[in-house]
Amino acid sequence: MSRRLPWGPMARLTGRRIAFAVPVLAAVTFGVFAIAAASPFDPVKAYAGTAGLTASQENLDQLRANLGVDQPLFARWWDWLTSAVTGDLGDSAVMRQPVAQVIGERLGWSVLLAATAFLVAVVLGTLLGVLAARRQGGWLDRAVTSLAYTLEAAPPFWLGLLAVWLFALKLGVLPAGGLTDTGSSTITAGQVLSHLALPAGVLAVSQLPWFVLYVRQGVGDALDEDPVRGARARGLAPRTVLFGHALRSGMLPVLTLIGSRVPELITGALLVETVFSWPGIAAATVQAATSVDFPLLAAVTVLATLAVLAGNWAADLLYGIADPRVGFDG
Amino acid sequence: MARPARSATAGAAVTALAVAAAACAAPNDDAKSGGTDSAVVGIAYEPDSLSPLLGYGKDGNSKIFDGLLTHDADMKLKPALAAELPKVTDDGRTYTYKLRDGVKFSDGKPFTSKDVVFTYDTILDKKTNNASKAELDAVRDVEAKGDDTVVFHLKYPYAPFAERTVLPIAPQHVAGQQDVNNGRFTTRPIGTGPYKLVKWSKGEKLVFKANPDYWGGAPKIKNFTMAIIKDDDVRATRLRSGDLDGAILPPNLAKTFKADTAKKTYAANSFDYRVVTLPTGNKVAGDTDIRRALDIGVDRKAMVDQILEGAGKAAYGPVPTDSPWFTKGTEREHDLAKAKKLLDQAGWKTGADGIRKKDGVRAAFPLWYLAGDKLRQDHALAYASDAKKLGIDVKVESGTWEVIMPRMPKDAVLAGGGAPADPDFDQYSLLKSSLAGNGFNNMAHYDNKKVDAALEDARRTDDKAKRQAAYDTVQRALVNDPGYTFLTHIDHLYVVDKKFGDLSTQVEPHDHGLASGPWWNVEDWKA
């Protein structure tokens, strides 16, 4: 595309989204604090762990005061919010570490996992979708579509367990979990790659069906449109028609899909990380939730919300660029 | 979004490495390649923190740290950072420790009396989030005399105090510079111990390297890794696949390694008991005749054989039958007929539904267990079924501690516990009437004046014979007036590769500490 990008409208869309994000984030964090406060879990018991079983009442009361969980809900949330705005995310009770450090140590691995899976899903999904669309109703099309529908119904953690059983236990070709080999203390690229293969593969496969089905539909429709038929009539090679013309217009719906898949990707990653003991943000999220670790829980929720908002923003932006008729009003 | 810079660089670095990986995919199995100077073990439990100031290693034997004292294989105290056992003066109120010479922390800085004072003072500080600080309740203050002597002044004579000084000593020059509750030290500890922590990947593993300058001599096992694998089946699978050299396993999975000639199963004796609390505030469970009938009506042997698959023994109190502190003759024979007769004579008459009644009170009470704990569930169900045979309706229910705790004064609970170091630790907190309903202490609200007095006597003297006599009184009282039904002491099972030779185990507490199992003395293993 050689035409110039509409910078003005794009910036206005971005500004609107940022302004919109502020109240959304405030509301979401308050919701997290409210839900956590209403949960039956006691943060003091979670913090004390087995030591709590022999702790004296005085000791437990002191812990409650030290952790600040005896404060009313609104005060706790306001404290958290005001210090978070200044960059202090607080300390995670369950990890015994500053929240920023917990996130710093883990987010990179989660991003690596999610990005690899997403890339694989988009590339593989597009390829399979185009191949299926080329001859709709053919054996390849039928195989790919039925596989896609089956995968769509399979939950990621179930796929994960299946993959562990097959590749790690039966075939013994890939490690069942962790970031590196158990006995190893250094992180090498080779080890990370071999340990990344299964979780990223499972996450990619769980995202795959949507891309396959959307691309197949989009490209299939495009193949029936006049410009493509025209190109074919001019005697262009089928390959050029398929990838050069049909794919380009067929990809349009996929662009929005890419943005809107972000929430699914996050929940999928949480489940996959748990199955494969991947040291990402998921384990921290689960632990934060079950031990009512307010600061960590709130920070993790903000991250997830930001990712979703960014995904939607990117989708709208891409769609607007690809199809000028849509504009940037949304 | 303000993403912390470190994560971004970590992610970028890995991606860059990943690209170059195809070229340098040379095998790097440093720890697994032959030789036995490395050991990888699978454990089910992960500590929240590695800071002794927050409670890590308080019962001794943490691989990174040393305490003033430590335990040998028979749980007898021996000096560690102290040069000898403490001198006790002032009728058991003053404990004086002479410190070992020339000990250094693994960062090269010397260990002195200041570190000891710092450690105890910090733990006792109100601002420190240490849930076990009540264990040091007896301490009034800690004083350094010169660089090599530490004196503890106690509020009251406390015979088992020396047992509390196995807790690890933290370096003041590191831990004293940070936030004690959330500082870097909680996850990157530095101590005087035989191993240094190389890496702690939470939820995945702890990696240790031998401390070459250890005062007790450099360990032969140079690399020691603890893989944290919560799921029993996964742990067994990874042990079978050779990923692990050893692991803790439940009885049914340990059994599957019987035929494996390369591996040996170790059963560690323990003080880990399972007990039913019979709260005094419950009309039925608080009735002495009901309590005594249940005490002789439950089939402990069947529980050991069927629930524990033989790996354990019947329990009649917190003290296991093979401990020197156990009072011989207080074992209770399983006798259903006697139990029924006892209830008949006491006026508990069998009603139309097969459940007994007395003065309009139906012989029924609920029994709670921690949801998800299979072992406790099995014990609870077996208990209820035995009680049914006596005409007592025990209704088994499960919940989290948040659900169970408020019900403890009225409802029975299937609880667990056990601290081997001193008989005072379990018995005082379980039976002392003034601790009734104080946190998880005395859950049954047990109240017996004679027991109260004996418990006090026992902790105020360090005369072994007098203490034994006091604990005999306690254990005999439990026969006539049981506030709990003790069921079993359970063995902890470990399966380890034979390449490390014959190993030993310590008597273990209820908590699965990091250094339980045959690797309790990994620093002494012959490589």
Residues 6+ apart with CB under 8 A from B95: B86, B87, B88, B151, B152, B154, B161, B162, B165
* DSSP H or E segment with residue B367: strand B364-370
- Asked if residue B1 has pLDDT above 80, the reply is no
Tokens of B85: 């056992």
pLDDT number for residue B6: 42
| B181 contact residues in A (CB cutoff 8 A) | 66, 91, 96
A&B contacts, CB < 8 Å: 198
- Asked if residue A280 has pLDDT above 70, the reply is yes
Say which of B29, B201, B203 has its CB closest to residue A181. B29
Say which of A59, A96, A107 has its CB closest to residue B134. A59
- Asked if residue A141 has pLDDT above 60, the reply is yes
Q: Would you say the C-alpha torsion B409, B412, B418, B423 has a positive or negative sign? A: positive
What single-letter DSSP state applies at residue B51? -
| B203 contact residues in A (CB cutoff 8 A) | 277, 279, 283
Distance (Å, rounded) from C-alpha B416 to C-alpha B274? 5
Provide the b/e sequence for B249-265 (b: ≥16 CB within 10 Å). bbbebbbebeeeeebbb
CA of A20, closest CA in chain B: separation in Å? Answer: 14
What single-letter DSSP state applies at residue B255? G
| A172 contact residues in B (CB cutoff 8 A) | 241
Tokens of A67: 């952790």
* Terminal CA-CA length for chain B: 51
Tokens of B86: 């403490």
pLDDT number for residue A40: 79
pLDDT tens digits, B257-306: 999 999 999 999 999 999 999 999 999 999 999 999 999 999 999 999 99
Distance (Å, rounded) from C-alpha B487 to C-alpha A150? 50
* DSSP H or E segment with residue B209: strand B205-210
For chain A, say whether B349 makes contact (Cβ under 8 Å).
no
Nearest CA in chain A to B227: A182
- Tell me if B17 and A47 make a contact (CB, 8 A cut-off): no
Q: Tell me, rounded to whole angstroms, the distance of Cα A83 from its chain centroid.
A: 27
pLDDT number for residue A3: 58
ipTM confidence:
0.74
Residues 6+ apart with CB under 8 A from A95: A102, A284, A287, A293, A296, B48, B187, B202
- Tell me if A183 and B417 make a contact (CB, 8 A cut-off): no
| A111 contact residues in B (CB cutoff 8 A) | 7, 11
| A191 contact residues in B (CB cutoff 8 A) | 28
Nearest CA in chain B to A171: B241
Q: B176 falls in which pLDDT band (50, 70, 90)? A: very high
* DSSP H or E segment with residue B195: strand B195-201
- Asked if residue B447 has pLDDT above 70, the reply is yes
Decide: residue B205, CB within 10 A, 0-12 exposed, 13-18 middle, 19+ buried.
buried
pLDDT number for residue B23: 35
Residue from A322, A27, A197 nearest B18 by CA: A197
- Tell me if A52 and B131 make a contact (CB, 8 A cut-off): yes
- Tell me if A52 and B225 make a contact (CB, 8 A cut-off): no
Nearest CA in chain A to B2: A87
pLDDT number for residue A330: 52
How many CA atoms lie within 13 Å of B505's alpha carbon, on the beta-carbon side?
Answer: 20
**What mean pLDDT is predicted for residues B495-505?**
94
Enumerate residues 465 to 524 of chain B having a beta carbon within 8 A of any beta carbon in chain A.
Answer: 510-511
Tokens of A217: 């539909």
Strands B356-358 and B361-362: antiparallel
Nearest 5°: CA angle at A76, between A75 and A80? 115
Enumerate residues 222 to 241 of chain B having a beta carbon within 8 A of any beta carbon in chain A.
Answer: 223, 225, 227, 229, 234, 237-238, 241
For chain A, say whether B15 makes contact (Cβ under 8 Å).
yes
Would you say A253 and A320 are in contact if contact means Cβ atoms under 8 Å apart?
Answer: no
- Asked if residue B29 has pLDDT above 70, the reply is no
Number of H helices, E strands in chain A: 15, 2
pLDDT tens digits, A287-299: 888 788 888 989 9
- Tell me if B28 and A184 make a contact (CB, 8 A cut-off): yes
pLDDT number for residue A328: 74
- Asked if residue A250 has pLDDT above 80, the reply is no
For chain A, say whether B205 makes contact (Cβ under 8 Å).
yes
- Tell me if A279 and B203 make a contact (CB, 8 A cut-off): yes
CA of A11, closest CA in chain B: separation in Å? Answer: 17
| A277 contact residues in B (CB cutoff 8 A) | 203-204, 229
Distance (Å, rounded) from C-alpha B459 to C-alpha A108? 53
**What mean pLDDT is predicted for residues B242-256?**
90
pLDDT number for residue B33: 40
pLDDT number for residue B125: 95
- Asked if residue B520 has pLDDT above 90, the reply is yes
Provide the b/e sequence for A74-104 (b: ≥16 CB within 10 Å). eebbeebeeebeeeebbbbbbbbbbbbbbbb
Where is mean pLDDT largest: A244-253, B430-439, B476-485? B476-485
Residues 6+ apart with CB under 8 A from A101: none
- Asked if residue B316 has pLDDT above 90, the reply is yes
Say which of A59, A185, A190 has its CB closest to residue B198. A185
Distance (Å, rounded) from C-alpha A205 to C-alpha A268? 11
Would you say B196 and B2 are in contact if contact means Cβ atoms under 8 Å apart?
Answer: no
pLDDT number for residue A70: 84
Mean of the per-residue pLDDT values for chain B?
A: 89
- Asked if residue B32 has pLDDT above 80, the reply is no
More confident position, A16 or B241 = A16
- Tell me if B31 and A183 make a contact (CB, 8 A cut-off): yes
- Tell me if B7 and A105 make a contact (CB, 8 A cut-off): yes
Residues 6+ apart with CB under 8 A from A18: none
Nearest 5°: CA angle at B340, between B337 and B344? 135
